[in-house]
Amino acid sequence: MSRPFLKMNGLGNDFVVVEARSAPFAPSAEEVRAIADRATGIGCDQLIVIEPPLAGEAGEGVDARVRFWNADGEEVAACGNGTRCVGWLVMQASGQDQAVIETAAGLLVATRAGERLVSVDMGRPGLDWTDIPLAAAHDTATLDVSLYDHPELGTAPACVSMGNPHVVFFVGDLDTAPIRQAGPVIARHPLFPQGANVGFAQVLARDRIGLRVWERGAGLTQACGTGACAALVAAARRGLTDHTATLVLDGGELLIEWRDDDHVIMTGPAAVDFAGELP
């Protein structure tokens, strides 16, 4: 039986979104890889499945449950740009200006922020080494471990969990940083038992950060929402930036705010590319 899908993107970070609130959809890792394959499948960074909320009190007040898979077939707990796209879909369907979305990383609240703009409360960042998680105790603000030998990566990185693990390197020039070489190596470093998303951040001003992210299971993407949140938190912890900044990614810009209540708010666009049916 064929199943309809939407192809969506948030700043070029692209998704195949499958509606499964009326009929279950539980893809295998092999099926996810086939869908994500850009040569023989539909092509995407992540597959997203929208499911009904859990029954009973656990699902009370929740509009949808969402699951995410990276292109390599691994299910992951969080995806910032994907959550923004799903939030927009749910709000369009309901006619409301807010959507409560359940993920494996917890409940996330999406709100309208303008024409095709959505803000998502990504919750509190995890800053303890057990939150990331790391294989051993370390200071996550300034990691005292060499993860990759290269002059551009000489400054100690920082680690942040935004429902998924991130390590952030601060570099002098994104154009010369060894992103494609270092990204896949660091993502699989033994320090990260669940792997890591590897961010390369260049502080441009107190309120502006250039960022490229090598995502575990997806590679170098046009944008990474949780990566943008992690980069802002890491920079603000070191006093490199203020607690609100524009993150400049290959696919466009995200506004990230680390509020006084410790919640991180991400605001950016959501776009629908086309509709189709899975074979």
* Contact between residue 40 and residue 76 where contact means Cβ atoms under 8 Å apart: no
**Cβ density class 114-150: b for 16+ within 10 Å, e for less:** eeeebbbbbbbbbbebebbbbeeebebeebeeebbee
**159 belongs to the catalytic site:** no
Catalytic residue among 44, 79, 159, 229: 79
**224 belongs to the catalytic site:** yes
Q: How far apart are CA 148 and CA 161, in angstroms?
A: 20
Phi, psi of 32, deg, nearest 5: -60, -45
* Contact between residue 116 and residue 88 where contact means Cβ atoms under 8 Å apart: yes
- Helix (H) or strand (E) holding 275, with range, is strand 271-278
Catalytic residue among 44, 85, 159, 224: 224
* Active site members: 79, 224
